[in-house]
A and B are shown apart, each in its own frame.
Chain A
Amino acid sequence: MSQLILEQALNGLQFGLMLFLLAAGLTLVFGIMDMINLSHGSLYMGGAYLGAAAAQASGSFLLGVVAAMLGMAAVGVVLELLLLRRLYRRDHLAQVLATFALILISNETVRMIWGPQPLMLNPPAALAGPVELFGFSYPAYRLLIVGVGLAVAAFLYLLVGHTRAGMWVRAGASNREMAEALGVDVRLLFTGIFALGAALCAAAGVLLGPLLAVQVGMGENILILAFVVIVIGGIGSIRGALVGSLLVGMVDTLGRALLPTLLRAVATPEVAGNLGPALASIAIYVLMAGVLFFRPAGLFPARA
């Protein structure tokens, strides 16, 4: 039993860290540019497809990741320059409309290029097998994901907390007008943030590709989780995004694994079979509602 929990906890950690890759970019865009970007999930999808195609073509998983990150960063920059820039001053509803349109366009573009069937993406052969961990077997690939996730978290921590650029980002998240008044080149900062966010999304897309399906619409499912994460964590805060992601990843994964079992102990198998998955799915939303009840601005609000 404890082995099961440990295994699921690791899965939760792994999922949470990948969510973090999406949430980090999303929280900065929302926190600094005050922009609701529904197409963030499409960057994740684009990365997965690009990465899968590149990996298949070259035979190298690593190349797939790199291609995806660079490719989506470029897409992000173009998107920011051509369209998103014009939305910063508009109200949230206009942003919803525009970014929803982007979801339609990107889903259809992917379908046009790769067709409606899901793509195959295999983990690198070297990591296809299990690894001995604390006395039980755990997939090496998932460990890689955990490693990458932690590395990214460390990188962002250093970037945001200990560099000039990071200082600008924190200033912008806390008070945009003030940052502008102090001479921060806000426009360049925004483009940079967007590109970074896109690259991170792409990485998550490729890394999760072998575990979840690479298919049209994959962005929408994970996007909503990312929004839940940043609301819990506090909009504009990277630290909040990390904590939020881990919380959501853990609650979701452990919930799915344990709730049905727990329910079977107190209710009939039929009820447990029905209610278990439902409760597990609802769990993160209940978590979000709970957090908002006690901390209406999230756990680590960036705004002053």
Chain B
Amino acid sequence: MSHMRRADLFELAALGAAVLLPLALQAMGEEFYIGFAARLLIFALAATSLNFVVGYGGMIAFGHAAFFGGGAYVVALAMQAELFAAWLVWPLAALGTALAALAIGALSLRTRGVYFIMITLAFAQMIYYTVISLKFAGGDDGLPLPQRSTLAPLDLADDRVLYWVALALLAAGLYALKRLAASRYGRALAGLRQNEARMEALGYPVARLKLVCFVAGAAVAGLAGALLANQNGLASPTQLYWTQSGMLLVMVILGGVGQRYGGVLGAIALLGLEEALGRVTEHSHFYVGFALLAVVLWAPRGLAGLLEPGKRRQ
């Protein structure tokens, strides 16, 4: 710890600011925004999980909403069965989505390129249509949560606590991503992104490497979904529709594919912009669209690329 790089200090400072945010918002009398800030963190976690699959694993998956929304539904359904404990249900959400991803991934990863994109999209749509047809899952209207999950001794009903829990999970996720990227597995993924044929020729189990990445990304998305259900008070089918997958992907690309903070920056930028513009105009999406176009044309490596112009992803 003798010499901390500037980036590490910056990260620590950002974390500190994030921890203090709810208190600051309270002090300013803007408690409402604590919920919004939690929402930002939750989407940041979901986008980061997708970034892992797309940017680190090199797989353009267009069905991530199935895992994100799926996690929400697991929590809502569990509550119907009188299971409220987060310690039990949230890991269950992650496990459920992981299993689904195992099946979907095993089949989808036989395809490449645009066909992979379409197959992952198709599976997500299948899940969407199945869920809205199930009466006990609330059909078109979705499934409301009677209360928030219990996380004794913490009280998740308090917006600040939910925020801090989401922050803790996001921070843990980002740290795990850092270690993963530097690990043997992460290096193998890096090789895979660069030249898959070569990795195969070197004898690496390419399909298995990708599948692990796909499943891990789905599991974290499922966990984020559990948080989302708590934050929204609802598991809704729109969370499963393909446009939600598109939005998550847009966040990743906006933030910077394959950059560690790509998902975080993208989520905060997109949702933040929407919210900020929403205060002044009814047609925020119009301006958001142009902002995205500007990024595509003039910031090809996304927002993270703008912030660290020389730094390359290792």
A contacts B directly (C-beta below 8 A): yes
Chain A contact residues, CB within 8 Å of chain B: 30, 36, 38, 83, 86-87, 90, 92-94, 96-98, 100-105, 107-109, 111-112, 220, 224, 227-228, 231, 235, 274-275, 277-278, 281-282, 285-286, 288-289, 292, 296-297
A277 vs B246: C-alpha distance in the bound complex, in angstroms? 25
CB atoms of B129 and A281 under 8 A apart? yes
Contacts of A93 in B (CB 8 A): 54, 60, 249, 253, 257
Query: Does any Cβ of A come within 8 Å of B130's Cβ?
Result: yes
Taking the closest CB of chain A, its distance from the CB of B195, in whole angstroms, is: 16
The 6 closest A-B pairs by CB, nearest first: A278-B133, A105-B289, A104-B289, A108-B286, A101-B292, A281-B129
CB atoms of B293 and A83 under 8 A apart? yes
Chain B contact residues, CB within 8 Å of chain A: 54, 60, 107, 111, 114-115, 117-119, 121-123, 125-126, 129-130, 132-135, 242-243, 246-247, 249-250, 253-254, 257, 283, 285-286, 288-290, 292-293, 295-297, 300
A109 vs B296: C-alpha distance in the bound complex, in angstroms? 20
A38 vs B60: C-alpha distance in the bound complex, in angstroms? 15
CB atoms of A98 and B293 under 8 A apart? yes
Contacts of A100 in B (CB 8 A): 246-247, 249-250, 292
A155 vs B243: C-alpha distance in the bound complex, in angstroms? 34
CB atoms of B288 and A104 under 8 A apart? yes
A281 vs B126: C-alpha distance in the bound complex, in angstroms? 8
From A86, A111, A228, B283 is in contact (CB under 8 Å) with A111
Main secondary structure of the interface of B (DSSP, over half): helix
CB atoms of B135 and A274 under 8 A apart? yes
Taking the closest CB of chain B, its distance from the CB of A84, in whole angstroms, is: 11
Contacts of A112 in B (CB 8 A): 283, 286
A274 vs B134: C-alpha distance in the bound complex, in angstroms? 6
Most buried by A among B54, B130, B242, B285: B285
Contacts of A111 in B (CB 8 A): 283
A163 vs B133: C-alpha distance in the bound complex, in angstroms? 48
CB atoms of A296 and B253 under 8 A apart? no
CB atoms of B289 and A231 under 8 A apart? no
CB atoms of A94 and B300 under 8 A apart? yes
From B117, B122, B283, A288 is in contact (CB under 8 Å) with B122
Query: Looking across the interface, which residue of chain A has its beta carbon closest to that of B127?
Result: A282
Query: Looking across the interface, which residue of chain B has its beta carbon closest to that of A97?
Result: B253
CB atoms of A101 and B289 under 8 A apart? yes
Taking the closest CB of chain A, its distance from the CB of B282, in whole angstroms, is: 8
A112 vs B296: C-alpha distance in the bound complex, in angstroms? 25
Taking the closest CB of chain A, its distance from the CB of B248, in whole angstroms, is: 11
CB atoms of A97 and B242 under 8 A apart? no
Contacts of A87 in B (CB 8 A): 296
CB atoms of A97 and B111 under 8 A apart? no
CB atoms of A292 and B289 under 8 A apart? no
CB atoms of B122 and A109 under 8 A apart? no
A297 vs B118: C-alpha distance in the bound complex, in angstroms? 12
Knowing A92-B60, A108-B289 touch, does A97 contact B296 (C-beta < 8 A)?
A: yes
CB atoms of A231 and B54 under 8 A apart? no
CB atoms of B253 and A224 under 8 A apart? no
Contacts of B129 in A (CB 8 A): 277-278, 281-282
CB atoms of B115 and A296 under 8 A apart? yes
CB atoms of B118 and A105 under 8 A apart? no
Some 24 contacts from A to B, beta carbons below 8 A apart, are A93-B54, A94-B296, A94-B300, A96-B253, A97-B253, A97-B292, A101-B250, A104-B292, A105-B289, A105-B293, A231-B118, A274-B135, A277-B133, A281-B125, A281-B129, A281-B133, A282-B129, A282-B130, A285-B122, A285-B123, A288-B118, A288-B122, A292-B111, A292-B119
CB atoms of B54 and A289 under 8 A apart? no
Contacts of B300 in A (CB 8 A): 90, 94
A96 vs B118: C-alpha distance in the bound complex, in angstroms? 13
Contacts of B130 in A (CB 8 A): 278, 282
Contacts of A101 in B (CB 8 A): 250, 288-290, 292-293, 296
Contacts of B297 in A (CB 8 A): 86, 98
A92 vs B59: C-alpha distance in the bound complex, in angstroms? 12
CB atoms of A228 and B114 under 8 A apart? no
Contacts of A292 in B (CB 8 A): 111, 115, 118-119
Knowing A96-B249, A296-B115 touch, does A220 contact B122 (C-beta < 8 A)?
A: no
From B117, B243, B250, A97 is in contact (CB under 8 Å) with B250
Knowing A36-B114, A282-B129, A282-B130 touch, does A104 contact B286 (C-beta < 8 A)?
A: yes
CB atoms of A224 and B289 under 8 A apart? no
Taking the closest CB of chain A, its distance from the CB of B284, in whole angstroms, is: 8
